[in-house]
Amino acid sequence: MAQRAWRLLVAALLSAAWLTGCGQEPAKRGDGSVRIGVTLYDQYDTFLTELMDCFNGYVDARKAEGVDIVTVRQDAAGSQSLQDDEVAEMIENGCDVICVNLVDRTAPTTIIDMARKNDVPIIFFNRELVEEDLMQWDSLYYVGADAFQSGVLQGEMATEYCKAHPETDRNGDGSIQYVVLEGEAGHQDSIIRTEYSVDTMIQKGILLDKVGYAIANWNRVQARSKMEQLIDSSESEIELVLANNDDMAMGAIEAYEGREIPRENWPVIFGIDGTEVGLQAVISGKMAGTVYNDKDGQAQAMEALAYALASGKSLQYLDLPESVTLEDNKYIRLPYKKVDRETAEEILSK
Ligand code: GAL
């Protein structure tokens, strides 16, 4: 609680620092420069940190082409009302377009109303609002991925692994004792990944026996402690861990390492995201596989769309990754892909 209050305070102070422009006059819209605001639900989220690094790389590349582009980044520190205030400030300070990683994906109305009133387009990303909300105004967009696909791909990888390695069923009872480490309750990726990963395995003929689950909010530390509790409380040994993201898979690995359980008695562990640590864990064999959540493609698409909107360019010829399109003039979704050791090495060497 104390830590959360502290983070909110820091975020509010940073917000205030930007409001005063750190001593500079806020730019007026139409001065020739392009101003892009970004607000994150939580700046400590690993996947989003990496996505923002990619985004900054695309912005720098555009600057190198001579475009006068300024970005402003805020952290909502898990508070929707703080995020609403941040968006209000960004609008007041002349942002031409704002990229919003909603804290509460069911509560975008304040932001949508402000944006519409001031005619500032919004690109929502990563945390998907419902379609009816996105349809409230023409200049609202979403950049992300298809959660359903990530669940199916994780389920397929886990199935392939179990079939190729019958020893996964360590107690030989014919079914795989498994646990799921879930992201935030209510997040589209947690709900859909959990459902489709398990369903895919069942459909492909794997007998599954659920011995527990835990919500660990995408977070490595929370996942480690939840995993320790699951290890201690499960009557049967856990043979498979399906984690909704890599950070939680890493937490599971840490739990087994912390308990000094020999590697041959570990369950098989799968993640989603392909973060740097996740890819390293796949290469080292601690994680059996992950699913790449294309942070680079999402960042490229978001920057291209933001730049086009801010500078009044046509959205018809956006500089998007190959085979990706702006669907219904609203959605850009990047495909996921399965990551084994070889693919992990390829991605890391790029
Ligand atoms: C998911 C990602 C998680 C976390 C979450 C935040 O797409 O897999 O690691 O970043 O978004 O909304």
pLDDT of residue 22: 29
Question: Among residues of the chain, what percentage have pLDDT more than 90?
Answer: 88
The yes-or-no verdict on residue 15 having pLDDT over 50 is no
DSSP class of 265: G
pLDDT (tens digit per residue) in 331-348:
999 999 999 999 999 999
Q: Are 291 and 46 in contact (CB under 8 A)?
A: no
Burial pattern 332-348, b for ≥16 Cβ within 10 A else e, equals bbbebbebeeebbeebe
The yes-or-no verdict on residue 26 having pLDDT over 80 is no
* Separation of CA 253 and ligand 1 centre (Å): 19
The yes-or-no verdict on residue 240 having pLDDT over 60 is yes
Q: Is 245 in the pocket of ligand 1 (CB under 6 A)?
A: yes
Q: What share of the chain is helix, strand, coil (3-state, %, to 5)?
A: 50, 20, 35
Q: Are 250 and 140 in contact (CB under 8 A)?
A: no
Strand 140-145's sheet: what is its strand order? 69-75, 34-40, 97-100, 122-125, 140-145, 331-334
pLDDT (tens digit per residue) in 283-297:
999 999 999 999 999
Q: Residues 6 or more apart from 184 whose CB is under 8 A from it?
A: 190, 215, 217, 218
Q: Residues 6 or more apart from 65 whose CB is under 8 A from it?
A: none
pLDDT of residue 277: 98
* 204 burial level (CB within 10 Å; 0-12, 13-18, 19+): middle
The yes-or-no verdict on residue 11 having pLDDT over 60 is no
pLDDT of residue 27: 41
* Separation of CA 26 and ligand 1 centre (Å): 32
* Separation of CA 127 and ligand 1 centre (Å): 8
* Separation of CA 8 and ligand 1 centre (Å): 20
Question: Among residues of the chain, what percentage have pLDDT more than 70?
Answer: 91
Least confident of 17-21, 52-56, 301-305: 17-21
Q: Using most ligand atoms within 8 A of CB, pick from 53, 182, 273 the residue to mutate for ligand 1.
A: 273
CA-CA distance, 275 to 295, in Å (whole number)?
Answer: 9
Q: Is 47 in the pocket of ligand 1 (CB under 6 A)?
A: yes
Report, as an integer, the average pLDDT of 308-327: 93
Average pLDDT, the chain: 92
The yes-or-no verdict on residue 173 having pLDDT over 90 is yes
* 13 burial level (CB within 10 Å; 0-12, 13-18, 19+): exposed
Q: What's the half-sphere exposure (Cβ side, CA atoms, 13 Å) at 202? A: 12
Q: Are 200 and 206 in contact (CB under 8 A)?
A: no
